[in-house]
A and B are shown apart, each in its own frame.
Chain A
Amino acid sequence: MIFCKPTGKRLTILALILFLSTSIISVSAQDGKALFMSKCAACHSLDKDMTGPALRGIIDKAPYNGDMAKMSHWIRNVNKLVATDPHYMDLKAKFGGSVMIQFDESALPEPELEAIIKYTSTPVATPTPGGGGGGVTEPQGNNNVLIFGIITLILAVIALILMQVNSNLKKMSDDAEGISRPNPVPFYKNKAYIAIFILLASTIFGYLVAKGAIGLGRQKNYQPVQPIFYSHKVHAGINQINCLYCHGSAWESKTAGIPSVNICMNCHKAVTDYTKGPKLYSEDGKEVDGTAEIAKLYKAAGFDPKSPASWDPTKANSIEWVKIHNLPDHVYFNHSQHVNAGNVQCQTCHGDITAMDEVKQVSELSMGWCVNCHRNTNVNFNYDSTKGNKFYSIYEKFHKDFKNKKMDSITVKDIGGLECQKCHY
């Protein structure tokens, strides 16, 4: 027992020494990539000029030509060199006057700088093919209908021919037996046939006319070709950008805004190509080049990815997106009322947007569709004082009825969601 203490002390000291030495070693051998990501990547990329120049292989280029001391000299004396050295003055001009932060020995020790420079000298990795997983799903054409139709037609024709044959044979046998009957009526003068034909034709015609008339002004499944192949699947699905990032006014106004070019450019000033996502296919099965689509945005924005600093946003033109969801002028619909006050998810009406490359209207947007939802949807009623929207405290009758168990829930219909003037005025 007496010996325990000193041994314990010795052990802790040993452990301390071990820990210290390993931590010192780990600093010098620290991962250059991690350092690059935390200290440089906000402004520098390996292969792309961003706020600052691309850094891959920078140490082997002029004016460093492999001279680490020269590199270190620059990092430590940015503020001085940028005003005196012509090379850095040129760089400053090229990048729109932005100057790099100067790193002192304390902020970026020499071993860390060396690790970073080592990382920037790694050769370009072979580009991975666009994520795979593509492969167009073969259109599952509605071929069954066609096949059944043809079979029905063939059978009908066979039936007709057999009936003709039958009547001819009967006539022949009658002739042979010497019975004289009146000539058979041809089928197109047969009143029973004509009646059946008229009935069938008018049913089909009536059905088609009614269906067409109901469909007038309704655009379910409308999926127009947009001026730029903007994939909601890539942006809202894979990259998880919130709907309200671009369509922010859905929260506070009648209209869910279509983003202007500057909102696209928030990210696309830096994201200049499409390489990391899955292959894109248009609805018709054609492969789409994402990078070329981003180039269309640049054309509208008047942006040159080679000299980002020279971009003048005031010269940008708007992109004429094709409107998909259109309510007639005599219908009032307010997004904020549904999204903000009503807590309705965007997907409830717009479908699974995060899986759509090309957006398509999935809802009928007919009056019956609206009314059905108003009948079935419960409002966020404040059944008691702890939950629900306090706004509904003015509905005293419903509170009473709910307490007396006359009502078990309050729907949009109950608070006037079926009144004509709510939407038509």
Chain B
Amino acid sequence: MMKKVLIVSLGVITLAATTGCSKVRRSPGSIYAPDMTYSRAYETYAGLDSNKFTNDPNKAGNKIFYNHQPVEGTIAEGGILYSYPYKNDSAGYAQSAKEVNPLDVASLDMKEAERLYLINCGICHGSKLDGNGPLWKGGDGPYPAAPKNFMDAAMKSMPEGTMYHSVTYGKNTMGSYASQLTVKQRWEVIAFIKQKQGATGGAPAAAKADSTTAPKAKP
């Protein structure tokens, strides 16, 4: 009798131990000392305790609200003093041609600009700027719209201000890159494209910005 109980229970334990866990681990498991693992202060991408925190700006007084926009005109560290004057409409698009690069193009780090181009633009517009990136692949890629070929005459003559307008607000199927590239980075990428095109386009790139725009940013 005793023997049978022992055998059965051993068998059950072995079975449970070997087959109990699935191959895919869907649970993060337990932790030791949760208050040392999960921050009590707000941490990026951490889940928030809805009893203490809120995402609703209207409840900001009652609960902790961390998503305030910075004061208008705030410049991030490493940013440049520059504000783009034109709105996202057809009038703004037309006026944007007048805008010139506020950066000192001659002293730019083109390697960094190329890095930014390859990450953010090359995926569609191609590493050779030929409008044939991996997402398009001559029409075989997943992206249904043909990206602009920067080596086309029309793109070579496009003023850099118009390029900045398109990168900032998006154009046709292209989305806005304002959240991925800072103001400075956008101008850097445009300077890189203009350099690769070998032409300065409509507006002379070396023209000085007027006093309402930025002083030259330190690289």
A239 touches B142 (CB 8 A): yes
| Cα of A363 to Cα of B182 in the assembled complex, Å | 32
Residues of B within 8 A of A45 (CB): 144-145
| Cα of A326 to Cα of B43 in the assembled complex, Å | 11
Distance in Å from the Cβ of B129 to the closest Cβ of chain A? 15
Indicate whether B44 reaches chain A with its CB closer than 8 angstroms: yes
B26 touches A223 (CB 8 A): yes
Residues of B within 8 A of A43 (CB): 145, 172-173
Which of these, B3, B46, B123, B140, contacts A160 with CB under 8 Å? B3
Indicate whether B148 reaches chain A with its CB closer than 8 angstroms: yes
Question: Interface residues of A toward B: which range?
Answer: 35 or more
Residues of A within 8 A of B218 (CB): none
Indicate whether A310 reaches chain B with its CB closer than 8 angstroms: no
> Is the contact region of chain A dominated by helix, strand, or loop, or is it mixed?
loop
| Cα of A271 to Cα of B174 in the assembled complex, Å | 11
Residues of A within 8 A of B177 (CB): 266
Distance in Å from the Cβ of B123 to the closest Cβ of chain A? 5
Q: Which of A18-26, A142-150, A385-393, A396-404 contacts B (4 or more CB under 8 A)?
A: A142-150
Residues of B within 8 A of A326 (CB): 28, 37
| Cα of A140 to Cα of B138 in the assembled complex, Å | 40
Residues of B within 8 A of A263 (CB): 179-180
Distance in Å from the Cβ of A370 to the closest Cβ of chain B? 16
Q: Which of B17-25, B101-109, B197-205, B206-214 contacts A (4 or more CB under 8 A)?
A: B17-25
Residue-by-residue, is A309-331 near B (CB-CB < 8 Å gives 1, otherwise 0)?
A: 00000000000000100101110
Distance in Å from the Cβ of A336 to the closest Cβ of chain B? 12
Q: Which of B6-14, B156-164, B187-195 contacts A (4 or more CB under 8 A)?
A: B6-14
Q: Say whether, besides A242-B123, A329-B39, A271 and B146 are in contact (CB < 8 Å).
A: no
Residue-by-residue, is A149-161 near B (CB-CB < 8 Å gives 1, otherwise 0)?
A: 1100100010010
**Nearest chain-A residue to B139 (Cβ)?**
A37
| Cα of A41 to Cα of B131 in the assembled complex, Å | 11
- Residue ranges of B at the interface with A (Cβ–Cβ < 8 Å): 2-3, 7, 10-11, 14-15, 18-19, 23-32, 36-40, 43-47, 90, 118-120, 123, 134-135, 138-149, 172-177, 179-180
- Residue ranges of A at the interface with B (Cβ–Cβ < 8 Å): 33, 37-38, 40-43, 45, 48, 50-51, 97-98, 139, 141-142, 145-146, 149-150, 153, 157, 160, 188, 213, 215-219, 221-225, 239-242, 244-245, 248, 254-255, 258, 260, 262-263, 265-267, 269-271, 274, 276-277, 283-284, 323, 326, 328-330, 360
10 more contacts with CB within 8 A, not counting A42-B172, A218-B29, A276-B140, are A38-B149, A42-B148, A51-B173, A146-B18, A215-B29, A216-B32, A223-B25, A239-B134, A270-B144, A330-B36
